[in-house]
Amino acid sequence: MSVQTETLTDRTAAMTQAAMTQTAARADTAAIKMLARNVKVYYGPKQALKGINLDILENRVLALIGPSGCGKSTFLRCLNRMNDTIENCRVDGTLQLDGEDIYGRMIDTVQLRARVGMVFQKPNPFPKSIYDNIAYGPRIHGMATHRDEMDEVVQKSLERAGLWNEVKDRLKEPGTGLSGGQQQRLCIARAIAVSPEVILMDEPCSALDPIATAHIEELIDELRENFTIVIVTHNMQQAARVSQKTAFFHLGDMVECDDTEEIFTNPRDERTQGYITGRYG
């Protein structure tokens, strides 16, 4: 994995240009939590992202939409360097968290991933007890030293994920024994237990029924108060319901990013319009 340092002028030029297009769209005054400038991702010789510019605002939900294979997951995985685990993946460009370069030499991936948590498409609880699933993160980060503290962290995380009432009597049972929707909420609880600043969610509801989905959407709305959230979804209604900002990806490009309302009522690009009205995708 390497970040090719482009020549300085190149980079500044790209950044100013991107900043200009972005400011035009920014009515929201929230602080910028994460930012991507000219992000290009290659899987071996194949380019998956062709220069993405995007601002992720603090305490807002950003939805990434777009047809399958357009690079949404790829982009999401750049934000906490999960792409590092893929052998032939290469990332170019600038990605920042609170003004700090994510792919810079100074950053520690372990620390980054503690700050930028992730919920995956398929629920992936550890094959351990429900309690240990939640407690694992806080334990390795030394967030709770006493048993009581840990109990509290576990309870609070499960409560925030709306799972506490269902599992409070069976914390010792394996997390893999829960239903799909419960497992996904367990994974969300696990992610928030380490108090990240940003939570990335890759199609968190794709395996869930409408009730569980509604539950998680509510949860996302609540979590927004304390976290910055980026969610990938194929469900237009979901994007409209939970997000404040929406970015439309197409064939490795970020076509447009704007307030969610704006995107769904008044898209500027005809590809966006085509996609959200269901003409393709």
Ligand X SMILES: Nc1ncnc2c1ncn2[C@@H]1O[C@H](COP(=O)(O)OP(=O)(O)OP(=O)(O)O)[C@@H](O)[C@H]1O
Which residues sit at the interface with other proteins, rule CB under 8 A?
A: 80, 82, 85, 87, 110-111, 113-114, 117-118, 120, 122, 124-127, 136-137, 140-141, 176, 187, 190-191, 193-194
Phi first, then psi: give them for residue 92, nearest 5 degrees: -120, 155
Residue 97 neighbours by CB under 8 Å, 6+ apart? 33, 34, 112, 115, 116, 197, 198
Phi first, then psi: give them for residue 65, nearest 5 degrees: -125, 165
The single residue among 38, 53, 73, 133 that binds Mg ion, judged by CB under 5 A, is 73
Minimum CB separation of residue 202 from Mg ion in Å reads 6
Sheet holding 32-43, edge to edge: 46-57, 32-43, 89-97, 100-101
Minimum CB separation of residue 86 from ligand X in Å reads 5
Query: Interface with Mg ion includes 74 (CB under 5 A)?
Result: no
Q: Which residue is nearest to Mg ion (CB)?
A: 73
Sheet holding 116-119, edge to edge: 116-119, 198-202, 228-232, 61-65, 245-250, 253-259
Measured CA to CA, the distance from residue 36 to residue 38 in angstroms comes to: 7
Measured CA to CA, the distance from residue 58 to residue 153 in angstroms comes to: 24
Minimum CB separation of residue 118 from other proteins in Å reads 4
Please identify, among the stretches 23-31, 41-49, 69-77, 90-98, the one whose residues bind Mg ion according to the rule CB under 5 A.
69-77
Minimum CB separation of residue 77 from ligand X in Å reads 8
Residue 80 interacting entry, from other proteins, Mg ion, ligand X, none, C-beta within 5 to 8 Å by type: other proteins
CB atoms within 10 A of CB 111: 10
Please identify, among the stretches 31-39, 63-71, 151-159, 269-277, the one whose residues bind ligand X according to the rule CB under 6 A.
63-71
Residue 69 interacting entry, from ligand X, Mg ion, other proteins, none, C-beta within 5 to 8 Å by type: ligand X
Minimum CB separation of residue 170 from Mg ion in Å reads 32
Residue 123 neighbours by CB under 8 Å, 6+ apart? 180, 183, 184, 186, 187, 207
Site for ligand X in 83-142 (CB under 6 A): 86
Minimum CB separation of residue 209 from other proteins in Å reads 21
Query: Interface with ligand X includes 70 (CB under 6 A)?
Result: yes
Site for Mg ion in 145-164 (CB under 5 A): none
The single residue among 17, 31, 69, 101 that binds ligand X, judged by CB under 6 A, is 69
Site for ligand X in 31-60 (CB under 6 A): 43, 46, 48
Residue 13 interacting entry, from Mg ion, ligand X, other proteins, none, C-beta within 5 to 8 Å by type: none
Measured CA to CA, the distance from residue 148 to residue 152 in angstroms comes to: 6
Give, for 63, the enclosing helix (H) or strand (E). Answer: strand 61-65
204 contacts 184 by C-beta, under 8 angstroms? yes
Please identify, among the stretches 1-9, 33-41, 44-52, 65-73, the one whose residues bind Mg ion according to the rule CB under 5 A.
65-73
Report the DSSP beta bridge partners of residue 248: 65, 256
Map residue 98 onto helix, strand or coil.
coil
Query: Site residues (CB under 5 A) for Mg ion?
Result: 73
- Binding site residues, ligand X, CB under 6 A: 43, 46, 48, 66, 68-74, 86
